[in-house]
Amino acid sequence: MSIKKHIPNVITLLNLFSGTIAVIFAVNSDFVSASLFVFLGIFFDFFDGFLARKLNVQSPLGVQLDSLADMVTSGVVPGIVMYKLIAITVDAPDFTSYSNDWNSMMQWNGFSLSMLPLLGLLITLASAFRLAKFNIDEDQQSYFKGLPVPANTLLILSLPLIMKFQNSDLMNAIILNKWFLIGLTFLSCYLLNSSIKLFALKFKNWSFKSNATRYIFLVLAVVSILIFQFAAIPLIIGLYIVMSIIDNLISK
């Protein structure tokens, strides 16, 4: 049995391992550590596919394993983070809090659960649906249909990072508004499973003419990060969608 064909799968399992650790940190509201391990998992997610292509050992097993790992790193973690953020806005910052208002309704055996923050877990469900569709869609080779789950995860994780490292009263007020978070949750679920064609950052060659959209996007993304830091991530995701729509219109 060739060891070479299992190397990408080992990298994929490192993605899953990183995502599992991120879940533990997210449940304990340590969003910075959770983000660090998610970023590491996303790196492994990119690297396993790169290795599989370079070693020419792509396999159906690798495809399924990749989606299972992504489900944890880029599906479960952002759902938990959104749950926690919404819980903060309704004064229910953990799984054991309880109040008598309309937000908290479920309670048994001394354990209580706030209902409104559970909307955040819709992101996890939408991510699972998106990954399942991707696995059976043979068209998504040179483009994505709907927002990729790692990109959506970066969008959600950017929120606590903005609050932690930029600490702007205006941005904090927006992020800690429950209606903003609920609206973003539904928008996230829609984007994940929309039919919008989004370009993939895969370069078949290095010519500017063939990859103009990709080069322009990468330059604008780097400039945005240098200027806006973590606040650039939502801007970059929005830019990615807008540029993809424009690119689709031009190609037609």
Where are the domains positioned within the chain?
4-195
Q: Are 132 and 21 in contact (CB under 8 A)?
A: no
Beta bridge partners of residue 113, listed in sequence order: 106
Tell me the average pLDDT of the chain: 87
CATH code matching the domain that covers 4-195, chosen among 1.20.120.1760, 2.40.110.10, 1.10.1240.10, 2.40.50.110: 1.20.120.1760
pLDDT in tens, 33-90: 999 999 999 999 988 777 777 777 777 787 888 999 999 999 999 999 999 999 999 8
Distance of CA 116 to the CA centre of its chain: 21
Distance of CA 7 to the CA centre of its chain: 25
- Reported as half-sphere exposure (CB side, CA atoms, 13 A), residue 246 has a value of 11
Annotate 148-193 with three-state secondary structure: CHHHHHHHHHHHHHHHHHCCCHHHHHHHCCHHHHHHHHHHHHHHHC
pLDDT in tens, 164-218: 999 899 999 999 999 999 999 999 999 999 999 999 887 666 777 778 889 999 9
pTM to 2 decimal places: 0.88
Distance of CA 63 to the CA centre of its chain: 18
